[in-house]
Amino acid sequence: MIRKLIEKEKMNLDKIKIDKFLDNQGKITQLPQKQSIRAATLCYLAEKFESNRNYTEKEVNSICEAWHTFGDYFILRRELIDYGLLCREPDGSRYWKPKNDLPNRTDKELRLNTAFHLIDFDNWDRKQYFYYFTKMLPTGFSISVEADITNTYNMIKKQNKKFFPAYLYLASKLITEQQEFRISNLNEQLGYYEVLHPSYACFHQDDKTMSNMWTEYDPNFEIFYDNYMEDQDRYADNHGILAKPDTPPQNSFMIGMLPWIKFTSYTPVPYADINNYFPVIQAGQFFDRDGKKIMPLSITVHHAVADGYHVGLFLEKFKTGIAAPESWI
């Protein structure tokens, strides 16, 4: 999807004006929402990299940091990779600019961005909390809230699209912005992934069973939506525990929706040790109240990696985002 989009847009990128997104020093002040202008802005940043050399992650971070004035360099680095303007080894040991400025999407690990960064445990600010909540008092907790989804629901319906993938996208986007929700174990080492992909249940009306499905996350909503619809078209009718032939990638998190239940609380209970500390997100049945459409929403986290503050931040950002879909759709 990304490759086709970039190939299509590159024909006209040179004609697109990005001046209003640059300051007087040529630094990027914000990432445009419109796909073509965003691509042109990222191509402008990609020009700061040479095509005939390799870069370390630190060098990539320094270049991104030097050419923007907003947010975190991590956002720009991730966008360059997601748009295929910068390539990376799966372990993050080497970065390089493709000579034709087009993505190489043939490697599955690269495409799914499975780069895993080790945590310096001895110097980690959560070292004591992690030990306490995994060894002394293993604890997780769930929080359920109500979200006003009226604006997003109405906008999606006007566009003749489905609400569920919009919900998946927003949750995935916010999780990718919070490192504490992307922590996992890999080869008995603690670290974090750069991005998580949503793994969800596909319900079969014919026999009332469900199958697991997952969709590749993309920071661009339209691309993610197309990814979701393609998965539905190809795999939704497959029965069994896995609807999609490929098992969910190691950097995927559980998210779902219970359209039959208007719950006030939801808590998944694992019956075995798990290898990651990703959150579990669940939505419930919509209902109308005072002219608004309300959706129950639950998030369950492991206390070893996140506290109430982190969950509160996620929920606040979700409520803000779902109330203002024009900022991300």
Decide: 222 and 35 in contact? Cβ < 8 Å: yes
Decide: 323 and 155 in contact? Cβ < 8 Å: no
Backbone angles phi, psi at 204, to 5 degrees: -105, 115
Choose, from 204, 239, 303, 310, the residue flagged as catalytic.
Answer: 303
C-alpha to C-alpha distances, 141 to 102, 236, 301, nearest whole angstrom: 43, 32, 6
| DSSP string computed for 86-107 | SEE-TTSS-EE--TTS-----S
For this structure, is 204 an active site residue?
Answer: no
d(CA 21, CA 34): 12
Please count the other Cβ atoms lying within 10 Å of the Cβ belonging to residue 168: 26
Beta bridge partners of 96: 54, 87
Decide: 215 and 197 in contact? Cβ < 8 Å: yes
d(CA 264, CA 271): 23
Which distant-in-sequence residues (6+ apart) come within 8 Å of 214 by Cβ? 197, 198, 199, 200, 231, 244, 248, 249, 252
Decide: 152 and 322 in contact? Cβ < 8 Å: yes
- At residue 197, the 3 state secondary structure works out as strand
In a 13 Å sphere around the CA of 157, the CA atoms on its Cβ side amount to: 6
d(CA 14, CA 25): 20
Decide: 115 and 86 in contact? Cβ < 8 Å: no
Active site residues: 303
